[in-house]
Homo-oligomer: A and B are copies of this chain.
Amino acid sequence: MKAHVTVTLKSSVLDPQGQTIHNALGKIGIEGVQAVRQGKYFLLNLSPALSQEAARAQVERIAREVLTNPVIEEFSYKLEE
């Protein structure tokens, strides 16, 4: 089983990296983008022995304790068989 975890800055937190990418797009003539936010992505390969429920608990624990800084970031994830 695989878990796709996305960690992003909370919307209240400034994202200078995304802002820089946004500016760069304008400079090379790419139109139609109103904002860019950057985050992190993690692909976790989980043991097939884990049940769906155990996998969910495990991924949430990993995201909360290891991958995310809860002061400024939030996470979402998706499981895939």
Q: How many copies does the complex hold?
A: 2
Whether the pair A41, B41 counts as a contact (CB closer than 8 A) is yes
Q: What 0/1 pattern do residues 12 to 53 of A give for CB contact below 8 A with B?
A: 000000100100110010111111111111111111011000
Task: Select one of B28, B34, B45 contacting A35, CB under 8 A.
Answer: B45
A54 vs B41: C-alpha distance when bound (angstroms): 26
Task: Select one of B34, B47, B66 contacting A47, CB under 8 A.
Answer: B34
Whether the pair B36, A58 counts as a contact (CB closer than 8 A) is no
Instruction: List the B side residues contacting A65 at CB < 8 Å.
Output: 28
Whether the pair A33, B8 counts as a contact (CB closer than 8 A) is no
Whether the pair B21, A61 counts as a contact (CB closer than 8 A) is no
Whether the pair B30, A46 counts as a contact (CB closer than 8 A) is no
